[in-house]
């Protein structure tokens, strides 16, 4: 929060002191008392004061971490050069549109056949409101945003063995579970079975609250009536004119919801990372990468595959090959290096760093993820089923079907995210398939939720992140144990090299992590340069 | 759902039969069994087959009900004429922008001083996804839509006597209440205090579900840790680089939430009417009214104040005065009349209808509502507080502060809905104030939630619906008793006159009610014309 930034440091110092002296529980209490509702790691545009004394920095990777470093270091007076593997900026900040081609590991080349204006984001696709750094760069770089819908009450939950395989509306499972829970707790409260911990006065208010929140009737029952229908929806919606009275539907029994396991999905709508209001850039996520590239201009060298990183006490030498002339290795030098190459790649390169950083680089496996985009002749999910944006969940291998959050209600063709597999055996299995087969399976499985699939499908494209040459995986998959042992070693400056990227953050897989790690890395690098 | 419309009538007939023979409970069960997840009153574009035989229809009011009737009856071959009180189309479908002027009852004239591109919608401002008729007309008339954010987890709940008057984040109240409820129910479940109604197997699954849904730890406790923080947000957000570990905050105690009464607001985010995905037209709600007016072209006569409605068995004669020449009454005739004049106005006009319709017209009081729009120098709610769209609630007389759902993150000036009072003494009190005083109070009260108000406020505008000459109130405020006694009498065709509008629907105050009532009215009118 910008307006508070002037007063924050002293409070933070105080908190660090409390944390060090009295432990984390005391620190939490102190933070609450000091009014830290939520402190972001981003305090507004970074200020790199002090003279860089003509120093040069070589940045490896033109993803968001690399381009953040390039933008800010150049602004601070450094000589900056960027090497990028791809022939485009952005890295995982990537959008696939009609005409785009890409080749995955194994050599299979796909050409996206989507109509003009349709796209999928194979990598990041949503921006939480509390990712202050991403939002601030979007603002500074004039990237227009629109809401990303995470929870659509009218989207589907599907269990292949639940409710005879018939998809349920999220609003019904969500409302009915909450209603039954409220009814159960109201019953034991009225029976005097609650702990002494809840006072008599609070018990009375609790009953009122459960009645309101759980859609209970005057007898604290959750059942078919216009009260529950006001939340779960109606069997017959209220209308106009004669014969227009609404008719409530029958709630799903608690036992059926419990046995269906569909309650598992409800937390996806409540997680801080997925809370309203989320955003997406208008036109595709790569609008951010393109805006950065526009801003930093000609200092990015594309099609440059780094093959070796050397350093001594005078500087850094990086060897790379140009994709158009791969047989002739080239070299470039700088005083310092900010390396944002994913650890999955970096761990395979000759790299002059100490044993501790090397161990950290080797310690982080990369998550498996697969996305499939499917184009359909018409937006049947809107026209037939009143599903506008958001996500349906299933226990089938495709896991999710996500509906486009743009072009609402306008008709015409549309592209669904027809599968989003993240970790688990199904992600590895899909990765092993040929791209066309992934698409075919996504259509086959998706038809269990939307029978219109088979008549309306036109074409598809898929990205399996373990086969993407520039990352060999989706994102750093830290365990708590690996983080405790290696994270700080990964982030320390090693000689003249510092690492940045989502892998060097507590926000794995998020663009915010990439930018925040980059800002932290260059702040420390700059402090060292200024001091020497 | 359009794809089902062909097969619906027979199922509906069956249901009516079940309802008549076996009562509504049996009907609900039958509807569920027949797979009526949710039946809308709108089945796609109306088809008025058959020859209108040159009949003419006079439509009173160019709000959405009147313009729907005009569009469809003209298409069916009727001679159609529309009389409208205002000098613009739309009625309550209305947007105020810089330069707009309007005069309220009592003669006070306001000029809106908002900057270019900023607006408020004094009347309807949101469209639920299940309002199929409104959405279909938007599609047919090319009205672009964008999401309306009802629930913003980072917006505020404020109680003047709760938490020392300090606003709370919705995400914290919402998550903490759910967490405490889950903990309480998990505890009694583990203590074996639940009814026999929940089987042993279900109890085990219930515990898992409460743990997942309520963010409970392994001991089924809800407390300060990274589990609850993943839902309620962090005291210190996870970051990047060194020193970036997240710190959880301390949940608010159940007793404090109960005593604060802030749980009352949680249902606003769960109600079917307010569920995601909601919409607003890009650029203002009046884009719908304007699109209708464009479509029906020159058949609307504006500035026409109806003063008398007469009928006999040959036709209808309506007397009106032109606002520019009020001293000279004029008359127009037609075979039939669709009257969409609000009952608050219609009850005061000489009108030739039977006693039962007259009693119905007199039986419906109109709800009081006040909206205040406030322009600020900058979008401090986004810049300082990370609140993007959605609504904050307070127990102060202003009740709500709603943030604009467009132009996100782009900076510049912004307009808040600074007060939205609906019914209750505060609405009547604000109605009694001069417009400038309403604005001043909204600024004064709003500063309790946003201290930036006083430095950033620029100008404001207010609409108190009981002082709006063309409605004298916000919407028909049916009681269950009045509806049972009068609703069908209101909707019946009386001779050559039929009424339409939100007041003739089960969706009071909603544009969907206006359109559905109009479609039902003209379908019955047309059946009568074709039959005679």
DSSP B188-213: HHHTT-S-TTS-HHHHHHHHHHHHHH
Taking residue B341's Cβ as centre, other Cβ atoms within 10 Å add up to: 28
Contact A187 B193 (CB under 8 A): no
Q: Which residue of B has its CA nearest to A16?
A: B243
CA distance A310 to chain B (A): 23
HSE, CB side, 13 Å, CA atoms: give it for residue B487. 25
How confident is the model at residue A39, as a pLDDT? 65
Interface of A with B in 292-331 (CB under 8 A): none
Contact B506 A246 (CB under 8 A): yes
How confident is the model at residue B425, as a pLDDT? 87
How many residue contacts between A and B have a Cβ separation below 8 Å? 401
How confident is the model at residue B205, as a pLDDT? 98
Q: In chain A, how long is the greatest CA-to-CA distance? A: 86
**Res. A40: pLDDT tops 80:** no
Q: What is the CA radius of gyration of chain B?
A: 26
How confident is the model at residue A4, as a pLDDT? 29
Place of tokens 């629109």: A146
Q: How many residues does chain B have?
A: 532
Q: Which residue of B has its CA nearest to A272?
A: B231
Average pLDDT, chain A: 93
Reduce the DSSP state of residue B269 to 3 states and report it.
helix
CA distance B103 to chain A (A): 31
How confident is the model at residue A352, as a pLDDT? 97
Q: How confident is the model at residue A343 (pLDDT cuts 50, 70, 90)?
A: very high
Average pLDDT over residues A463-467: 97
B53 and chain A in contact, CB less than 8 A:
no
Q: How confident is the model at residue B17 (pLDDT cuts 50, 70, 90)?
A: very low
Q: Using an 8 Å Cβ cutoff, are B57 and B19 in contact?
A: no
- Distance set, CA B322 to CA B64, B84, B341, B348 (Å): 22, 10, 16, 19
End-to-end CA distance of chain B: give it in Å, rounded: 33
Q: What is the pLDDT of residues B359-408, one digit of tens each?
A: 999 999 999 999 999 999 999 999 999 999 999 999 999 999 999 999 99
- Residue A264 is classified by DSSP as G
Average pLDDT over residues B178-197: 94
Share of chain A above pLDDT 70, in %: 93
B489 and chain A in contact, CB less than 8 A:
no
**Res. A10: pLDDT tops 60:** no
**Res. A12: pLDDT tops 50:** no
HSE, CB side, 13 Å, CA atoms: give it for residue A171. 29
Q: What is the pLDDT of residues B488-513, one digit of tens each?
A: 999 999 999 999 999 999 999 999 99
How confident is the model at residue B269, as a pLDDT? 86
Helix extents (H) in B398-510: 424-432, 435-446, 453-456, 480-491
Average pLDDT over residues A313-335: 96
**Res. B190: pLDDT tops 70:** yes
Average pLDDT over residues A488-493: 98
Contact B210 A235 (CB under 8 A): no
Q: What is the ipTM of this complex?
A: 0.93
Which of A16-20, A186-190, A323-327 is predicted with the least confidence, judged by mean pLDDT? Answer: A16-20
The H or E element that residue A420 is part of is: strand A414-422
Cβ-based contacts of B455 with chain A (< 8 Å): none
- Residue A248 is classified by DSSP as E
Which member of B177, B188, B248 has the closest CB to residue A194? B188
Candidates B511, B465, B64; CA nearest to B273 is B511
Cβ-based contacts of B176 with chain A (< 8 Å): none
Which member of A147, A230, A271 has the closest CB to residue B149? A147
Average pLDDT over residues A303-331: 96
Which member of A209, A232, A275 has the closest CB to residue B153? A275
How confident is the model at residue A195, as a pLDDT? 81
B194 and chain A in contact, CB less than 8 A:
yes
Q: How confident is the model at residue A21 (pLDDT cuts 50, 70, 90)?
A: very low
Residues sharing a CB contact under 8 Å with residue A485, sequence separation 6 or more, in sequence order? A363
CA distance B385 to chain A (A): 6
Q: CA B73 to CA B172: how far, in whole Å?
A: 52
Q: Which of B143, B240, B267 to mutate to test the interface with A (most CBs of A within 10 A)?
A: B240
Share of chain A above pLDDT 90, in %: 89
**Res. A3: pLDDT tops 50:** no
**Rounded to two decimals, what is the model's pTM?**
0.93
Contact A240 B209 (CB under 8 A): no
**Residue A58 is encoded by which pair of tokens?**
């070589």
B204 and chain A in contact, CB less than 8 A:
no
Q: How confident is the model at residue B38 (pLDDT cuts 50, 70, 90)?
A: low
- Residue A114 is classified by DSSP as P
Reduce the DSSP state of residue B464 to 3 states and report it.
strand
Helix extents (H) in A34-106: 64-75
**Res. A33: pLDDT tops 50:** no
**Res. B7: pLDDT tops 70:** no
Contact B279 A388 (CB under 8 A): yes
Reduce the DSSP state of residue B14 to 3 states and report it.
helix
Contact A139 B248 (CB under 8 A): no
CA distance A442 to chain B (A): 23
Q: Which residue of B has its CA nearest to A483?
A: B245
CA distance B474 to chain A (A): 18
B5 and chain A in contact, CB less than 8 A:
no
Which member of A147, A184, A390 has the closest CB to residue B185? A184
**Res. B31: pLDDT tops 80:** no
Q: CA A466 to CA B328: how far, in whole Å?
A: 81
A491 and chain B in contact, CB less than 8 A:
yes
- Residue B407 is classified by DSSP as S
A145 and chain B in contact, CB less than 8 A:
yes
Cis, bond preceding A265 (omega within 30 deg of 0): no
Average pLDDT over residues B38-48: 85
Q: What is the pLDDT of residues B247-300, one digit of tens each?
A: 999 999 999 999 999 999 999 889 999 999 999 999 999 999 999 999 998 999
Tell me which of B226 and B425 has the higher pLDDT: B226
Q: Which of A241, A259, A388, A476 to mutate to test the interface with B (most CBs of B within 10 A)?
A: A241
Average pLDDT over residues B454-480: 97
CA distance A477 to chain B (A): 15
How confident is the model at residue B39, as a pLDDT? 65
Helix B511-531, helix B480-491: angle, nearest 10: 40
**Res. B12: pLDDT tops 70:** no
Q: What is the pLDDT of residues B323-369, one digit of tens each?
A: 999 999 999 999 999 999 999 999 999 999 999 999 999 999 999 99
Contact B249 A37 (CB under 8 A): yes
Taking residue B449's Cβ as centre, other Cβ atoms within 10 Å add up to: 23
Share of chain B above pLDDT 90, in %: 89
- Residue B252 is classified by DSSP as P
A376 and chain B in contact, CB less than 8 A:
no
Q: What is the pLDDT of residues B409-423, one digit of tens each?
A: 999 999 999 999 998
Which of A153-167, A248-262, A280-294, B16-30 is predicted with the least confidence, judged by mean pLDDT? Answer: B16-30
Average pLDDT over residues A395-421: 97
How confident is the model at residue B238, as a pLDDT? 97
**Res. B150: pLDDT tops 50:** yes
Cβ-based contacts of B506 with chain A (< 8 Å): 238-240, 244-246
Cβ-based contacts of B519 with chain A (< 8 Å): 240-241
Average pLDDT over residues A236-260: 97
Contact A517 B240 (CB under 8 A): yes
Reduce the DSSP state of residue B285 to 3 states and report it.
coil
Candidates A27, A149, A256; CA nearest to B148 is A149
How confident is the model at residue A38, as a pLDDT? 56
Average pLDDT, chain B: 93
**Res. A11: pLDDT tops 70:** no
Interface of A with B in 207-236 (CB under 8 A): 209-210, 212-213, 215, 224, 229-236
Q: How confident is the model at residue B78 (pLDDT cuts 50, 70, 90)?
A: very high
Average pLDDT over residues B91-116: 97
Place of tokens 């109600």: B271
Interface of A with B in 404-463 (CB under 8 A): 405, 408-411
Candidates B180, B202, B179, B176; CA nearest to B189 is B202
Contact A240 B184 (CB under 8 A): no
Q: What is the pLDDT of residues A131-176, one digit of tens each?
A: 999 999 999 999 999 999 999 999 999 999 999 999 999 999 999 9
């Amino acid at each position: 929060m910008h307006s508070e930034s002037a007063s924050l440091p002293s409070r933070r110092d105080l908190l660090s002191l409390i944390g060090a002296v009295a432990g984390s529980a005391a620190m939490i209490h102190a933070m609450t008392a000091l009014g830290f509702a939520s402190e972001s790691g981003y305090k507004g545009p970074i200020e790199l004061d002090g003279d860089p004394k003509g120093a040069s920095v070589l940045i490896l990777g033109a993803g968001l971490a690399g381009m953040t470093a390039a933008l800010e270091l150049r602004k601070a007076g450094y000589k900056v050069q960027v090497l990028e593997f791809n022939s485009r900026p952005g890295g995982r900040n990537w959008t696939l549109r009609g005409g785009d081609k890409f080749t995955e590991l194994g050599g299979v080349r796909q050409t996206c056949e989507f109509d003009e204006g349709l796209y999928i984001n194979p990598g990041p696709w949503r921006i939480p409101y509390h990712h202050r750094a991403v939002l601030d760069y979007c603002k500074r770089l004039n990237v227009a945003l629109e809401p990303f819908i995470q929870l659509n009450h009218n989207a589907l939950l599907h269990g292949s063995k639940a409710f005879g395989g018939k998809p349920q509306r999220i609003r019904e499972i969500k409302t009915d579970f909450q209603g039954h829970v409220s009814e159960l707790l109201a019953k034991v409260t009225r029976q005097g079975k609650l702990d002494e911990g809840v006072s008599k006065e609070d018990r009375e208010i609790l009953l009122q609250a459960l009645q309101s929140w759980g859609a209970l009737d005057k007898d604290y029952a959750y059942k078919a009536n216009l009260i529950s229908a006001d939340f779960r929806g109606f069997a017959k919606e209220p209308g106009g004119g004669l014969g227009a009275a609404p008719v409530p539907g029958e709630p799903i029994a608690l036992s059926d919801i419990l046995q269906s396991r569909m309650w598992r999905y409800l937390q996806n709508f409540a997680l801080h990372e997925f809370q309203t209001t989320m955003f997406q850039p208008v036109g595709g996520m790569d609008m951010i990468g393109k805006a950065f590239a526009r801003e930093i201009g000609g200092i990015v060298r594309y099609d440059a595959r780094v093959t070796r990183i050397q350093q001594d006490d005078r500087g850094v030498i990086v060897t790379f090959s140009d994709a158009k002339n791969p047989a002739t290795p080239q070299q470039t030098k700088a005083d310092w290096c900010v390396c944002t190459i994913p650890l999955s790649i970096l761990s395979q390169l000759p790299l002059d760093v100490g044993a501790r950083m090397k161990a950290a680089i080797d310690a982080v496996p990369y998550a498996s993820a697969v996305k499939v985009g499917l184009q359909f002749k018409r937006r049947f999910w809107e026209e037939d089923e009143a599903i506008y944006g958001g996500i349906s969940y299933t226990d089938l291998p495709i896991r999710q079907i996500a509906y486009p959050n743009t072009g609402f209600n306008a008709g015409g063709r549309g592209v669904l995210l027809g599968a989003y597999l993240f970790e688990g055996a199904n992600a590895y299995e899909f990765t092993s398939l040929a791209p066309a087969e992934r698409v075919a399976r996504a259509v086959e499985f998706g038809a269990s939720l939307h029978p219109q699939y088979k008549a309306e499908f036109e074409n598809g494209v898929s990205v399996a992140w373990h086969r993407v040459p520039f990352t060999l995986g989706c994102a750093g998959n830290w365990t708590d144990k690996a983080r405790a042992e290696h994270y700080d070693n990964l982030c320390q400056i090693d000689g003249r090299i510092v690492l940045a990227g989502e892998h060097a953050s507590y926000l794995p897989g998020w663009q915010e992590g990439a930018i925040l790690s980059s800002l932290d890395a260059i702040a420390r690098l700059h402090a060292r340069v200024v001091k020497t």
